């Protein structure tokens, strides 16, 4: 069976809701703990990364609901989202290297790996869809799910761990 984008409508609807809810949670977490976040040098960037990851997922799943969209066009959109969700956190992380001297290498790598794990499936998905393979839809789903997990993890840090 060769799935079409329309076959994925229920998935995209569910994930738009989940992405929007988690994005709102992160915004609330940032606003509740804004002074604390601003007082710890690497946390404003971390909050930005969380928003970029979740908004990327939100935009991707929203684009998946556009009716009668050619798969190659959707693939181009996913690819662009993947590039943005890869590059913006990468730039933030490189800029924050001077502030994270106290963090263990494992924590630094975990943060980078989480960003890569969320964005690389989008780049693969976009490439596959542009090339005509609907297998890209499964890669997009993987990226969305990883983005949501990363969003929950970052929300936890911004709501709870920041107060320890």
Q: Residues 140-152: pLDDT tens digits?
A: 999 999 999 998 9
Q: What is the pLDDT of residues 31-85, one digit of tens each?
A: 998 999 998 888 898 899 999 999 999 999 999 999 999 999 999 999 999 999 9
Q: How far apart are CA 140 and CA 106, in angstroms?
A: 27
**Tens of pLDDT along 93-134?**
888 877 666 677 787 788 788 888 999 999 999 999 999 999
One-character DSSP codes across the chain: ----GGGGHHHHHHHHHHHHHHHHHHHHHHHHTHHHHHHSTTHHHHHHHHHHHHHHHHHHHHHTTSTT--HHHHHHHHHHHHHHHHHHHHHHHHHTGGG-TTS-HHHHHHHHHHHHHHHHHHHHHHHHHHTT-TTHHHHHHHHHHHHHHHHHHHHHHHHTGGG-
Percent pLDDT > 90 in the chain is 64
What is the greatest pairwise CA distance in the chain?
Answer: 53
**Tell me, what's the pLDDT at 97?**
76
């Amino acid at each position: 069976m060769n799935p079409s984008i329309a076959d994925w409508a229920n998935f995209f609807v569910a994930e738009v809701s989940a992405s929007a809810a988690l994005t709102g949670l992160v915004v609330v977490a940032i606003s509740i703990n804004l002074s604390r976040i601003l007082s710890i040098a690497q946390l404003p960037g971390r909050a930005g990364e969380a928003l970029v990851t979740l908004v990327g997922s939100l935009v991707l799943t929203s684009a998946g609901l556009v009716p009668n969209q050619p798969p190659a066009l959707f693939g181009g959109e996913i690819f662009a989202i993947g590039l943005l969700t890869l590059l913006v956190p990468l730039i933030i992380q490189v800029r924050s290297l001077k502030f994270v001297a106290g963090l263990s290498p494992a924590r630094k790598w975990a943060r980078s790996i989480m960003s890569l794990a969320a964005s690389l499936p989008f780049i693969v998905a976009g490439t596959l869809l542009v090339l005509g393979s609907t297998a890209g839809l499964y890669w997009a789903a993987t990226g969305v799910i990883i983005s949501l997990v990363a969003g929950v993890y970052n929300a936890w840090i911004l709501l709870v761990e920041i107060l320890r």
